[in-house]
Structure 1
Amino acid sequence: MNHLITGQDARGNDIKLDYIDHGDGKPVVLIHGWPATYKMWEYQLNALTEQGFRVIAYTRRGFGNSSKPSEGHDYDTYADDLKAVLDQLDLQDVTLVGFSMGGGEVARYMGRHAGARVSRVAFVSAVTPFLLKTADNPEGVDRQTFDEMVEGLEKDRFDYLQGFGKKFYGVGLLSNPVSEATLDWTQAMCQIADPRATILSVRAWSETDFRQDLGTIQVPTLVIHGGDDALVPPAVSGERMTRFVPHAEFVEYAGAPHGLFIPEKERLNRDLITFVHGGDVQKTSDRY
């Protein structure tokens, strides 16, 4: 098992992040969603490596086989952990790809650390720019929605995650975009997260305002979002991104759910490869 030590927690314990590092060439760093691990990127890891990229994916603190401290489940700390990954591996000319809550890491890193070492960023089904409805963010989601998530996790985390997985992939009576085996795999991956981290991170990704962070991004930016995302609706997230990153390319996958990295894996892989190579993803995607 590979681990990177990113720093210390409030009690002075080293924080170790489980990670994978495949291939050579231009580095691509993949940042997973809630409450999964880097293993959610299975199909992207293979596809990007085969295209000659060096692909690094890590599991954030509190999840999977990474350290599970009781504190530090906030985006300043997550961004500092990402910085430690880039620094310890001495990565340059990096493309960051953040999925769902991982998009928040990308945004906060770019704002907090001035985009050091990074040449491109991609947001996939991301929680950016700001999910929570507030007086100055009327397009956001009511706090009650997130309160109910926490209540469900506190009542029966395993049952809640089982239902969440179906909504995550858009599984319904007439829609089965992934297999039952994939649902079981996802459930097992999410169950090993620390319960406290699972809950605190809900508060982090739902309540953190990334709008100022996004305003600092000057590098090429790709935004991909599923048109039928029931967890992070595109009208609240992906469709709003170009307000804060005017040069960003926004690509909507019509009919795709939140967890599009499996049911839309071929298209996502092609678009990420095109983007890292410096191509025009919007025109490429229009052909599919």
Structure 2
Amino acid sequence: MRSVGEPSFAISVCIPTFNPDLKYLKLLLESLERQTRADFNVIVSDDASANADLIKAVLSTCKLNWRADWSPVSIGMAANWNRCAQLATGQFILVTGQDDLLMPEALEQLVSQAQASNSDVVFSVPHFVTESGDELQNPSSAVTADSIFPNGDVPMNNRATIVLGLLYGNVFGDPCSTLIRLDSFRALGGFSTEYEHAVDLELWLRMAAGGVAITRISKVVASHRAHQKNATSVHVRSGASQRDRDRLAVEYEASEFADATWNRIVARLHLHRLHDLMRYRTASEPISVRMRGGGRTRLRAIAGEITETFGWTEPIGRSLL
């Protein structure tokens, strides 16, 4: 195994693996080899994959500065993400899925923005590709980031980040398109192992609640591969996505939201549950939180969700920025 030694890097690209499709893993590594910025290393943390020997063979041909760690037993997704980040030596980390892709200027654009704005987190535009690499519209059919965020670089209001996350889920960016300052990541405890699906979203909201500086750039720097076997698809079909969205709402229920805003969050949870039931046949999960205020306020929230869903009104999230 090639050792990273002790040099200082601007970025550590963290690749947690679990039974990866080797074709996609090779494509990810090739996309990293094409980066226009060279001061990064690659950390692979494998969660007891059945094809570990084949992963080692792929890494043996990799031209990058890399290090790999092999768990003898499976510790789970979030714990493996954290272990990968624990091995990082860069000032910043980027945690990418084992089948995602990075654009050639991804690391250069993200780090340049983080340094220029002194940001702890930099989101970029979510982007999706199919199994064959073709561009894909937002596979969740949810509100898109483009409909909420304006063009250009946007310093994120932390309070607005929390409300947007509770309303729409992860409209900010997948881990593969999000740069995180390693010191801030560690200070806040890393990814939560209590969540099944919304591990990244939970961290984004916790970082916003912790007051870190967050910026969004209107560039595509990475592509998240959407297919039936990836974790996102599995979690939606199993109901884990619903459970985590509900759990996040419970965690932030005591926050001082206006009744109108809170009721839109709760109405969106019901819409999210209905969408998964109709599209994925996901079993309905109970929603723990309730609307607030009088009947008129609640009806306005339901009507607002209906008109936004059908595109008759702009997303309420746009008014928060």
TM norm. shorter chain > 0.5: no
TM score, norm. by length of structure 2 = 0.29
TM score, norm. by length of structure 1 = 0.31
Which one has the largest radius of gyration?
A: 2
